[in-house]
């Protein structure tokens, strides 16, 4: 070897570095999806508090939380990603796809869930919402022309059974399923699958935070218009509910924490780990909702709750236990979201 010659990198060093990068990225996606879905459970406790203590309707809560979070997303984008925001708004094709994502995906997910609760109850609605996991897996298998992995199938069964236990306490009679409730419940599951899977290309092009933000704003506008139309049709007009300090505080929390942070983190996680794993991890929501209800609203844990928690934790280990695939999901180029 000549005196001035330096040794090159060790064979395989680049491959190991790449694997380490994707492994770190994978676990970051897992963490974001779990925390985001967990914050949905917090938003559920907030909604329960508001609906139980004030003269507020589900459409009003949906409109306020989505529009408030959408405006918050817009402010952050204007400050931190101004050029990207301008480019997105100047691209008509992107605007059309964002409108579909916000008004069809995000808004329909929120409003159909509220409708199912109105026809049945919150537990039944949560069980039906988890049908979105099955729809995501089904659509992914059909498009990819392949069968799901054994771990994913077992994870699906564990997630849905855990949700059923937590929502119904193991009592089949607790599931009240009038036909309209069943139909709207299936629509809710489809909308969940849609908003998880549809924005994949948008995430790759613009980043998850910007896409989620504009989609949330569009969905918020749609929710507000529907609430206003319902008020006019029902003769209530623009009457607003009366809130005290606690009511305003909880509304602030459901906007900032339960919607803005929850969707930003969860969809960022989905953009990394993929639709199937993301949808399974999203099933942590009923566990989170039960925990927040117990800690905040005084709901007691039962044996069925603990069994559901164990099953859900087992599902998480099943989903996250395999080695991350370097080419499973295309990374979101230029995703500089604060999350």
pLDDT at residue 330 in the model: 38
Q: Which helix (H) or strand (E) holds 263?
A: helix 262-273
* Separation between Cα atoms, residue 158 and residue 288, nearest integer Å: 16
pLDDT at residue 143 in the model: 81
Domain ranges of the chain: 27-320
* Separation between Cα atoms, residue 170 and residue 187, nearest integer Å: 24
Cβ neighbour number for residue 202 with a 10 Å cutoff: 23
Whether pTM exceeds 0.85? no
Rounded to whole angstroms, what are the CA distances from 167 to 74, 145, 174, 205, 305? 35, 34, 9, 38, 8
> Per residue of the chain (339 residues), what is the pLDDT tens digit?
444 445 555 556 666 666 777 788 888 888 898 898 888 778 877 887 887 788 888 888 889 999 999 999 999 999 999 999 999 999 999 999 999 999 999 999 888 877 776 676 665 676 677 778 778 888 888 887 787 777 777 777 777 787 777 667 777 776 666 778 878 888 988 998 898 889 989 998 999 899 999 999 999 999 999 888 887 676 655 677 888 999 999 999 999 998 999 989 988 888 888 877 877 777 777 667 667 766 765 656 677 767 776 776 676 666 665 555 443 443 333 344 433
Q: Which helix (H) or strand (E) holds 309?
A: helix 303-320
pLDDT at residue 144 in the model: 78
Q: Evaluate whether 182 touches 120 at the Cβ level (below 8 Å).
A: no
């Amino acid at each position: 070897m000549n005196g001035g010659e330096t040794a090159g990198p060790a064979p395989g060093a680049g491959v190991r570095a790449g694997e380490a990068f994707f492994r770190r990225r994978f676990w970051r996606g897992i963490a974001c999806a779990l925390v985001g879905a967990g914050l949905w459970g917090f938003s559920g406790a907030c909604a329960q508090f508001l609906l139980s203590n004030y003269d507020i309707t589900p459409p009003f809560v949906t409109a306020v939380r989505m529009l408030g979070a959408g405006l918050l997303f817009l402010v952050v984008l204007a400050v931190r990603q101004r050029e990207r925001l301008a480019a997105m708004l100047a691209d008509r094709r992107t605007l059309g796809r964002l409108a579909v994502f916000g008004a069809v995906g995000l808004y329909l997910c929120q409003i159909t869930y509220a409708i199912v609760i109105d026809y049945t109850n919150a537990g039944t609605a949560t069980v039906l919402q988890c049908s979105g996991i099955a729809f995501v897996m089904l659509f992914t298998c059909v498009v990819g022309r392949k069968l799901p992995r054994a771990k994913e199938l077992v994870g699906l069964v564990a997630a849905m059974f855990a949700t059923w236990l937590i929502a119904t306490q193991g009592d089949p009679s607790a599931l009240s399923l009038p036909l309209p409730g069943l139909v709207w419940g299936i629509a809710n599951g489809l909308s969940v699958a849609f908003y998880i899977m549809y924005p994949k290309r948008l995430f790759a092009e613009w980043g998850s935070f910007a896409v989620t933000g504009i989609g949330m704003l569009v969905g918020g506008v749609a929710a507000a218009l529907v609430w206003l139309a319902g008020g006019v049709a029902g003769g209530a007009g623009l009457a607003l509910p009366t809130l005290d300090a606690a009511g305003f505080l909880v509304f602030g929390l459901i906007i900032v924490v339960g919607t803005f942070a929850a969707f930003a983190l969860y969809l960022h996680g989905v953009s990394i780990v993929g639709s199937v794993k993301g949808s399974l991890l999203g099933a942590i929501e009923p566990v989170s909702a039960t925990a927040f209800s117990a800690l905040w609203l005084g709901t007691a844990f039962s044996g069925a709750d603990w069994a559901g928690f164990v099953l859900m934790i087992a599902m998480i280990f099943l989903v996250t236990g395999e080695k991350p695939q370097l080419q499973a999901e295309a990374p979101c180029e230029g995703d500089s979201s604060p999350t």
